[in-house]
Amino acid sequence: MDMTLDMNRKGSLAIHCVTNGPIQTNTYFAVSDDEVVVIDPAWEGERLAEVLADRCPGKRVAAIICTHGHADHIGGVAGMRRALGSDVPFLISEADSEIMGRAIEDMREMWGFDHELPPAPDRLLNEGDVVAFGDVELQVVATPGHTPGGIVLFCAAVTGNVAFVGDTLFPGAHGRTDLEGGSEKQIIDSLGKIGALLPADTLCLIGHNDTTTIERELESNLFMRRGLRHYR
């Protein structure tokens, strides 16, 4: 069944990006009013907590959210929780909560990088869920393909439409699908889905490398254009 998004813009959102970890993952600090949400803490969670305190002084950490369960996007969760306190909730999709341990083992075996297993999630996210903080809301869109439970977090803010897309979308491309649980068909469908759902001016904050917009991807991303033809 198709989902709908609330496009009514409300609140303001400021974003800080910290590139960290062994394969240069983008960790985002999303700030609204007096609260901040950490998205995809990749590595050295205690160090990330120090950077957070420096860049967002006085802000209350409302949540740590991971767009998917791969080791390079969850590796800093445990350390951040130690530094920030166990009362900071950890959120991830229901499907990807089950692959975190295997994903850490896979990265250790493939590349020799070791990550600490996060604590059990405090909230499991599914499509249509909303994470509210400050004066904005993050709307959860299910985007399987890179992992079984990959999600996009969309925010319609007065300061502009923003989507945290993890590794589902790369400029002109998409995330790899050859790891356990990956599916080329699903990720193409997911690209078509976000291309159809998200406003053209949405700024897409990527898991690795540079940002893009939905408008740019609709023009140049052949995978998204292919997905749009099949999106229902």
Residue 1 above 50 pLDDT? no
> Distance between CA atoms of 64 and 68, rounded to whole angstroms?
12
pLDDT value of position 110: 85
Residue 33 above 70 pLDDT? yes
Structure confidence by residue, pLDDT tens digits, 185-202: 999 999 999 999 999 999
196-to-1, 24, 65, 158, 190 alpha-carbon distances in Å:
14, 29, 24, 21, 10
Query: What number of other Cβ atoms are within 10 A of residue 202's Cβ?
Result: 23
pLDDT value of position 65: 98
pLDDT value of position 232: 57
> Distance between CA atoms of 218 and 114, rounded to whole angstroms?
37
Average pLDDT, the chain: 95
| Lowest pLDDT segment from 161-165, 206-210, 227-231 | 227-231
> Distance between CA atoms of 160 and 135, rounded to whole angstroms?
14
User: Of 91, 62, 97, whose CA–CA distance to 181 is shortest?
Assistant: 97
Which string of b and e fits 122-132 if b means at least 16 CB within 10 Å?
eebbeeebebe
Across the range 67-79, mean pLDDT stands at 96
pLDDT value of position 231: 72
Structure confidence by residue, pLDDT tens digits, 161-176: 999 999 999 999 999 9
